[in-house]
Structure 1
């Protein structure tokens, strides 16, 4: 009959209390957000009195997890970027020249002298002085080829070595280009995520779209231009040997060399070898610091491989200039005074403290493997986000009020119990979103509004079933018990199918679709819990106290 064990009652009320307790900070959103930001700043070392005061506006013993607001609610920046994967082909092929040169020099007796030729992007051309033995040169270079690292191109080679008259050509194979595209986009995706996380933005959305595009949405940031400043710089750091200086960018560099402008000295250009000795990919740390003249700088440290190459080169080239190149500009070109062991150094230049800090962040996050072309950019102002929040509030209030009135008019006291459970249900949704760190979007609000309507569906099934049982002249206790038992299968079936739909939307969809599926899925779970357990517990408690001979549903 109508009996619920004491431990079950305690557990039901405990779950409700926990959910509402976790949802409570959202009722004081601005205050709790200020507290959380201050606590994060204190953990990073900012222990000023102002931060201490902001951290104290919300008690530490209370929960402080908030429902994150999405781009359409909070305002922020939206970018759609295309990764220039073709840049990687050219960079990789050019970097092979030192190894190609060393291999062919060992065959000088057979093929004669070699000379690097100008070539198309993504191609390396080497001319030999004895073309009758060019087949030998191609055979030697084929030893550089390696298997493609890809499940779909297993067994294929990564290089295509060809012969064109008295020249040997080196290109990447189609299979290697496809594998390189995949790796490049994945690496760019991860580096963008790390750069955005470094500056402390809230709940960014960073997703791959199509073969070579990346969608970036960051709530709470000032503008799309500010977001581009964070992620748009490739921060490609290289250390390249200096061949000479030039007065213009049109100076003849010679094969295997390139002309780069100086970052600090306007009108000054350096001729450097195109193949770097060490790259930023071998950096393991970069921190803002100060040089011996107390000017802002960036200190760096290489991994063991980079440290060994850096140390060997400095030992063999004492007295020669060495260019530190950042994104195609020479930051500085110091003369090597002594062997630099240990793999650490410092980048000096005309930096401000903020610029040195940002550069350290970019270097620490890693270099983008290729450039980005921004195809679409939008800035959503916070006032537009506030309009969406206000519209969402109105929608929720109207839906809530309509459902409350309908339930009371249709089912009387039992409708009041269902309404109380509905209020608890909405609180549990926000509590769960806070606990899992979920992001609420405008479609997510639509999911909550839909949940409000669906939440009473289970109660309607139960109450209608109780009405039918009362017509068979059964007692009220038996009618209530049978009403819940016979309606249970219909409630479970209906909610399971809807939950499956929410799971599919989450798995297949992205962005706003996922926001809708999350709130819908959580709402289904909480509405089933409140309808089957909370409403029933309230009815049982009322029945135990009143013991009515008849009931009106």
Structure 2
């Protein structure tokens, strides 16, 4: 039979429509203004703390819509933003720095849809708003890090040139080198002129000393590069969060604006964006007495650290590899069932690690976790932000064999800590610490009036197309309208499954696909009418109309698809959002306009003998 689909094909088309309806449904439900409370420590919130937070919220007498405790964090839903903001301010004052209190917009999707993995698509800042962060780059820390690098590099260079020295130390913006004897000073100056010509050299009265200082020009360049590197790292971290169409821009000399449209979990966004975390691998100094270092007399080539259990440990000042030499990191479980991060190094890092492990088999190596924490304290009624660099040894293990490019790091407290650390290492370490100086949830940037107009334009365009098709093509037009509606449902469902961000340009792409979908049906229906005028039977006209129009429809859709792909590849921001909806709309319109309408027409007409078609 020409005009009939086999049972399996009908079932497959209906299943596709059913799945589209299910995954588009969450977009009909709204969102609740909420406050989310999470722990800043490795261990998540426990039930007693959740009960304490609930009692604290109840003491405000705010109308709470719902109170949820799940996955180690508390989510309090409200009916309006005034109660949300009031509660958030109270919790920030009461909870302290060990907890993160963030504003949130929690979806009201029913549980049975969430169980199927159906979530609403994100809306951009111009439709629903999102999260706005203003980050300040710590330029002083960037300068200190540069001094630290030069300090270590100078020690290595002096040892490599066999120059004996008493000390290499940072003091008041200078790196002061004190030699064993003044006779080696000319050799030192030659070395500095050759390998460290960017440093400004000062010769004090002492004949055996040389003072070095980083030039103002290099400091400015270091600060500039730190901001640029931080922007790149933040983009990588935003990509890891799965946010579409983020806005990351530099403001002034040392500030970066980050806007995350449609973000649901603002707590995680704040944690990932603001955290400065990296790793350092160092050999353990087993030759010197740790107790003397604790008493304030560490050996020249070592530094005193503390393990998680509070035990002191001496580590070599020489760093084997750092976080910026890590090219990939993934979390998992090691052979002993402990959370671990599996790390891959670049060529330079792999060569250094391979050389060191080959020469130190049987010796212990430590992993140092480094992060910067910002704590706000109230002193004399004024809020003062205190920055602290936290360094802790998370793992000490004996080098059992030679390894270089890929290895694992253990000693983490939980799988969640392993996941967060792997994300940060994979995205790249921040070149300098950042401080979140401003955080807010922003409303639609174009205003509610523009949003209403955008939605109204879609409704008016859709209704006009529906009326034209129903009047001009009668029953066939109604079938095309059915396919048109499902085309929109499929586009929304796919955007929801991809958790893409819909913006006003995206809506424009959907409106454009509405016209393209109808255009395909117009080509088919006109070909059917032409075959009827040529004297063919209604059944044969339907079959020939669909078969002959397919090549033309395919050509037009492929050319449009090529343009949409080019827009996506080379466009940015709103252009990319328009291209995404256009690509999805083109593919779905091919399915609904050809396969969907033909299935319904087959049901109505099939190969029955009818004298006239309602077209």
Shorter-chain-normalised TM-score: which range?
A: 0.5 to 0.7
Deviation of 1:387 (Å):
4.1
Q: Does 1:190 align with 2:252?
A: no
The Cα offsets for residues 468-506 of structure 1, whole Å up to 9 and x where unpaired, read as: 111111111111111111111111111111111111111
CA contact (8 A) 1:111 1:131 kept: no
Aligned counterpart, 1:18: 19
Does 2:282 align with 1:305? yes
Distance 1:34 1:117 in 2: 46
| 1-structure distance, mates of 2:171, 2:34 | 60
TM-score (normalised: structure 2): 0.56
Q: Counterpart in 2 of 1:69?
A: 123
Are the counterparts in 1 of residues 200 and 214 from structure 2 also a CA contact under 8 Å? Answer: no
Q: Distance in 2 between matches of 1:312 and 1:41?
A: 50
1:319 aligns with 2:320: no
| Residue in 2 that maps onto 1:459 | 521
Aligned residues: 442
Cα offset, 1:393, TM superposition: 2.2
Distance of aligned partners of 1:432 and 1:41 in 2 relative to their CA distance in 1, 3 Å threshold:
farther
Aligned match for 1:538, one of 600, 603, 611 = 600
Superposition TM-score, scaled by structure 1 size: 0.61
Alignment of 1:282-297 (within 5 A): 282=279
CA separation of 1:312 and 1:445: change in aligned 2, threshold 3 A: farther
Q: 1:137 aligns with which of 181, 184, 188?
A: 188
Look up the match of 2:111.
58
- Partner SS, residue 551 of structure 1: coil
For the residue of structure 2 that corresponds to 1:71, the secondary structure is: coil
Counterparts of 1:11-410 in structure 2, within 5 Å, are: 11-30=12-31, 41-46=69-74, 58-59=111-112, 61-78=115-132, 88=142, 91-97=145-151, 100=154, 104=158, 136-138=187-189, 140=191, 160=197, 185-186=228-229, 188-190=231-233, 194=237, 203=243, 205-206=245-246, 216-219=258-261, 281-282=278-279, 305=282, 308=284, 315-320=291-296, 339-340=312-313, 368-370=430-432, 380-382=442-444, 386-410=448-472
Shift of 1:391: 2.6
Other-structure match for 2:512: 450
**Alpha-carbon distance change, 116 to 220 in structure 1, aligned in 2, over 3 angstroms:** closer
When you count strand as a share of all residues, which structure comes out higher? 2
Once the two structures are superposed, what CA deviation does each residue of 1:531-551 show, in whole Å capped at 9, x if it has no partner? 110011111111138641222
CA distance in 2, matches of 1:395, 1:90: 56
Cα distance in 2, alignment partners of residues 526 and 348 from structure 1: 49
**1:221-270 Cα shifts (integer Å, max 9, x gaps):** 89x9x9998799686xxxxxxxxxxxxxxxxxxxxxxxxxxxxxxxxxxx
Are the counterparts in 2 of residues 314 and 338 from structure 1 also a CA contact under 8 Å?
no
**SS, match of residue 606 in structure 2:** helix
Distance (Å, rounded) in 2 between the aligned partners of 1:39 and 1:2: 56
Shift of 1:43: 1.8
Verify the 8 A CA contact 2:122 2:263 in the aligned structure 1.
Answer: no
The correspondence for 1:502, drawn from 534, 554, 564, is 564
Q: What pairs up with 1:477-516 in 2 under 5 angstroms?
A: 477-516=539-578
Q: CA deviation at 1:102?
A: 7.4
Once the two structures are TM-superposed, the CA of residue 9 in structure 1 deviates from its matched residue by: 1.5
Query: Whole-Å Cα distance in 2 between the matches of residues 32 and 78 of structure 1?
Result: 16
CA contact (8 A) 1:204 1:217 kept: no
Contact 1:458-1:531 at 8 Å conserved across structures: yes
Measured after TM superposition, the shift of residue 441 of structure 1 is: 0.9
- 1:239 corresponds in structure 2 to none
Consecutive unaligned residues of structure 2, counting only runs of 5 or more, are 39-65, 79-106, 204-209, 299-309, 315-365, 379-384, 391-416
Q: Secondary structure at the match of 1:216?
A: strand
**What is the CA distance between 1:14 and its match in structure 2?**
1.3
* 1:149-197 CA distance string (max 9 Å, x none): xxxxxxxxxx64789796697879x99x999988974555435765998
**Structure 2: distance between partners of 1:162 and 1:79:** 36
The equivalent residue for 1:333 is: none
Structure-1 separation of matches of 2:77 and 2:467? 51
Where in structure 1 are there 5+ consecutive unaligned residues?
146-158, 236-279, 283-302, 323-336
> Following TM superposition, by how much is the alpha carbon of 1:34 offset from its aligned partner in structure 2, in angstroms?
11
